[in-house]
Structures are given as structure tokens and as C-alpha cells.
Amino acid sequence: FVGNSTYLDDHGPPPQKVLPFPSQVVYNRVGKCGSRTVVLLLRILSEKHGFNLVTSDIHNKTRLTKNEQMELIKNISTAEQPYLFTRHVHFLNFSRFGGDQPVYINIIRDPVNRFLSNYFFRRFGDWRGEQNHMIRTPSMRQEERYLDINVCILENYPECSNPRLFYIIPYFCGQHPRCREPGEWALERAKLNVNENFLLVGILEELEDVLLLLERFLPHYFKDVLSIYKNPEHRKLGNLTVTVKKTIPSPEAIQILYQRMRYEYEFYYYVKEQFHLLKRKFGLKSHIRKPRPRPEFFIPSPLETEEPIDDEEEDDEKWLEDIYKR
């Protein structure tokens, strides 16, 4: 069980009452990173496996005051276990307020793709809205709704420049005000939290492998998730969450976005590399389609490497135990 001070202080064996699996899981889902698909799956899985799925209707409040943090942590901590809590919210440090730190999981995706998905979703929604002739964000002025993505980027509109583009890292950095300032401090703190508090951070481009590993690490919650995901009925549901009217910016505009989001990319490549190491550790080959050639205007990252990395031999179950005890 993650977060018990017994483990943190290395004061001997865990108490006997600890369940053989983490009974407190938080999925502080990042916007436009496949989370609605995963929540659809979690609804099915919670019925099937009998865990308590705690969702939140609050979708637009990721940053909390100290009192709001305390209140939310208290509410989550008192939920019936085993629970999985999910909400769009920046990382919460339970131990700071005297609570047991839960197991965190999350999924991220290529930052420019995430940004574009959000840009058009805010304006035009997804196929569910299209079918019902709904338009997203009714209060948005028409000139803003139809603002050309290239104009937004090249003319430095607030929506297409920092700090709005610094979006993924705060979900892992946390609630500290500096977590929202694009820079090394927030980046390093986010990496540290990934290492210390997240059981798994997957990447959306390899969702099937993310689900496989979740099933392996958290079977009480995710057993059979892949077969449910591959079920044709579910695929039909998933297609409704695809953003509509998406267009691709010019290479020049994407290059500018890439420069503005350099910390986001450094974090994304770090997470991707960790994810690939984890896959190798568990003998998972990549099942993804051959990636499209990276456009020339994307700067290749030194973290992206195709060579196999030799891992030290380690017993899989022992490794999982250590993760749970961290």
C-alpha cells in the first residue's frame, strides 16, 4: 500500500491489515489525453469488479487553494475502499496534510497534438455534439470560435502562447504556484513526482500497452480492460469522443508551438522513455502502428532511442511489491 509512513521511514514490515493490492488509486486525468475513453472503461470495470469509482463533476478547476486541497483530500480519503478517484486536477500531496498517499496513474500525449485537440474541441466539440447539433462553449464569440489556428499562433494570441501552453507539467508538478511557471523548476518537480508517486504514466499513442500494464499492476481494478476496450460496442462509443473540424497548422506555426512548449516536450519524452523501459521490463513489444515520419521541423529528442536498453534482471512481482511499498 503506497504512502504508509511505515514504508517511507523503513521501520520494518507493513501492518497486517494492508490489502494485497493498492486500495486507494487516483487518476488525476490530463485534459484531451484519452481520459473520457478511460473513464468509460472504468464505469464498466467498477461494475464488473466491485470497486468504488469516485468521479467529479468539476472539470475546470485544476488549481486549488490550501483549504480546497485539504477539503478534497479529506473527501477522497474517506471514500469507501477500494476506490478509484478521477478528476481533472493538478497533483495533490496527501502526505502534506497527514493523509495516506494514494497510488497515482495518468496518461499523456504528444503536447502539440493535445493542444490542437483542445483548441478545436473548445470550439466545435466532438461527434456526440455534432450528432445532437450542439456547439461547444456557447458563450464564445463567433470571431474567436472561427479564429484561424495559424493566426492564433503566429500573432501570439493568449490561447496559443505561454502560460496557456504550459499545460501537462502542472498535473504532475502539483499545486505550488511555481508549478504553473514554464521552467526547469516545475519540470524537475514533475519528473520527481512521476518517479515517487505515480505507479504508471502511460502515453496515449500506445493506449493498448497502457491498458495491458494497468491490468498487470492493478488487476483488482483493470482485469479484462483490454478485451472490453477491443469490444466493437465500446469502439463505437470511443469514436464519439473524437474531436471534429480539426485542422493542422502550417509547419512554421508548429515550429513556433514546439519552441514555446519545449519544457512540455522534455517532460513528454522523459515519460515516454520511462514507459518504454517499463514495457521492456515486462516483455511487452510495441503493438503500435509504424509511426509516421517525424516532420523535419520537429527537433528530435536525444531521449528517443530505438536501441534496446539492457535492463538488470529483476523479478517482476518483487518489483511491483517495491512500487507499492514506496
- Catalytic residue list: 88
- Give Cβ neighbours of residue 8 (< 8 Å, ≥ 6 apart): 95
Q: Among candidates 129, 132, 126, 37, which has minimal Cα distance to 86?
A: 37
3-class SS at 102?
coil
Spell 271-288 as b/e; 16+ CB within 10 A means b.
Answer: bbbbbbebbebeebeeee
Q: Is 240 exposed, middle or buried (0-12, 13-18, 19+ CB in 10 A)?
A: middle
Residue closest to 29 by CA, chosen among 208, 239, 204: 204
C-alpha cell of residue 140: 464564445
The amino acid present at 290, given as its one-letter code, is: K
Cell 515516454 belongs to which residue?
Answer: 272
Strand order through the sheet with 198-203: 52-55, 83-86, 24-27, 103-108, 198-203
Cβ-contact 129, 224 below 8 angstroms: no
Return d(Cα 303, Cα 280) in angstroms, integer: 16
Burial 298-320 (b: 16+ CB within 10 A, else e): eeeeeeeeeeeeeeeeeeeeeeb
DSSP class of residue 159 equals G
* Residue 264 to residues 33, 156, 171, 311, Cα–Cα distance (Å): 14, 18, 11, 27
What secondary structure letter does DSSP report for 57? S
Residue with cell 464564445: 140
